Amino acid sequence: MPTCTDPRRDAAEASEALRGLAHASRAMENPADTYPILGELLAGVRSLRQSLDQLATAHLTHRGDAHDDAGDQAIGTSEALAAADNLHQAGTVLDSVEERLDAATTHSGRIAWHPAHTVAGHDRVERQWISVVFLQGDEADEILDLVDRDGPDAAIDHLKGFDYGEETTDAALINGYVYDTPPAGALDREATDGDYLLLYNHQLGHVSLLRRYTTDPVEEESTAVAREAIGGINAPPRHTGMRMSPSPTRAAVRESETAWFAPARPSSASSAERGLGR
Q: What is the block-wise mean pLDDT of the chain (278 residues), using blocks of 10 residues?
A: 90 90 82 90 93 94 94 94 94 92 90 63 63 92 93 93 90 86 84 92 91 67 50 42 36 39 42 39
DSSP annotation string for 31-82: GGGHHHHHHHHHHHHHHHHHHHHHHHHHHHHTGGG---TT--HHHHHHHHHH
Count Cβ atoms below 10 Å from residue 6 Cβ, excluding itself. 11
What is the torsion angle, in degrees rounded to the nearest 10, for the CA atoms of residue 250, residue 256, residue 261 and residue 264? 110
pLDDT of amino acid 180: 83
Alpha-carbon gap, residue 30 to 86, rounded angstroms: 39
Alpha-carbon gap, residue 158 to 213, rounded angstroms: 20
pLDDT of amino acid 210: 94
pLDDT of amino acid 221: 53
pLDDT of amino acid 26: 80
pLDDT of amino acid 224: 52
Q: Are 166 and 213 in contact (CB under 8 A)?
A: no
pLDDT of amino acid 217: 53
Backbone phi, psi, residue 200, to 5°:
-145, 150
pLDDT of amino acid 172: 87
pLDDT of amino acid 230: 45
What is the CA 103 to chain-centroid distance, rounded? 26
Q: Amino acid identity, residue 156?
A: I
